[in-house]
Amino acid sequence: MLTDTREKRPWTFDGVPVETRTETLSTGDYALSSHCEYDPEADTYHPRFAVERKSGGDFLTAITWDRERFCAELARAREWAEPLCVVVETPLATLVAGRGCARDREVHPNQILGTLAAWHQQYNVRFVFAESRGRAERTGLLLLERHRLRRVAGEREPD
């Protein structure tokens, strides 16, 4: 599994027999190397499926102050067969209620819900909100494994 070099707080997958390697990914924070194209000139891997990790605070920043940069990332996944999975390490109910990391942010619940609805229609993206960082990590790993298994099953199908 590849972890993006810009990932500030990478998941460690403790207790899970998974090998990780830090590389530059054009999209997402985690991808399977076997499902990426490597560009040696840019020294960058271009995934065909990836998981993007967001803390609750990162997610709120992505829908407000860093919206343009994040939309550019979402746009890079438009042509993928499966959506870019954004796994948020905070429950949606917590963010919408203005609790936890959202307490000191001036983000209206309608802005959060409206952005999610618009991005779901506009981009090839799936948002998953987890109850904790640990659950988010397990979810991210399961999404990558599910993608790998679907690809393997698809490659084995007879013509």
Give the CATH number, domain containing residue 60: 3.40.50.10130
Looking at residue 102, its pLDDT comes to 85
The SS3 call for residue 8 is coil
Q: What is the mean pLDDT of the chain?
A: 93
DSSP string for residues in 49-83:
S-EEEE-HHHHHHHTTTTHHHHHHHHHHTTT-SSP
Looking at residue 155, its pLDDT comes to 62
Note the pLDDT tens digit of each residue in 130-153. Answer: 999 999 999 999 999 999 998 777
Partner residues linked to 52 by β-bridges: 86
Note the pLDDT tens digit of each residue in 63-93. Answer: 999 999 999 999 999 999 999 999 999 999 9
Whether the pLDDT of residue 156 is over 60: the answer is: no
Which residue range is the domain that position 15 belongs to?
2-156
Distance of CA 2 to the CA centre of its chain: 13
Note the pLDDT tens digit of each residue in 90-117. Answer: 999 999 998 888 888 889 999 999 999 9
C-beta neighbour count of 41 within 10 angstroms: 5
Answer yes or no: are the C-beta atoms of 66 and 75 closer than 8 Å.
no
Whether the pLDDT of residue 159 is over 50: the answer is: no
Number of domains, the chain? 1
Q: Is the pTM of this model over 0.85?
A: yes
Where helices occur in the chain by DSSP H, the ranges are 56-62, 67-76, 92-96, 109-122, 133-156
Answer yes or no: are the C-beta atoms of 102 and 94 closer than 8 Å.
yes
Note the pLDDT tens digit of each residue in 40-63. Answer: 999 999 999 999 999 999 999 999
Q: In what order do the strands lie in the sheet with 84-88?
A: 21-23, 2-4, 30-31, 51-54, 84-88, 125-129
- The span from the CA of 88 to the CA of 15, in Å, is 21
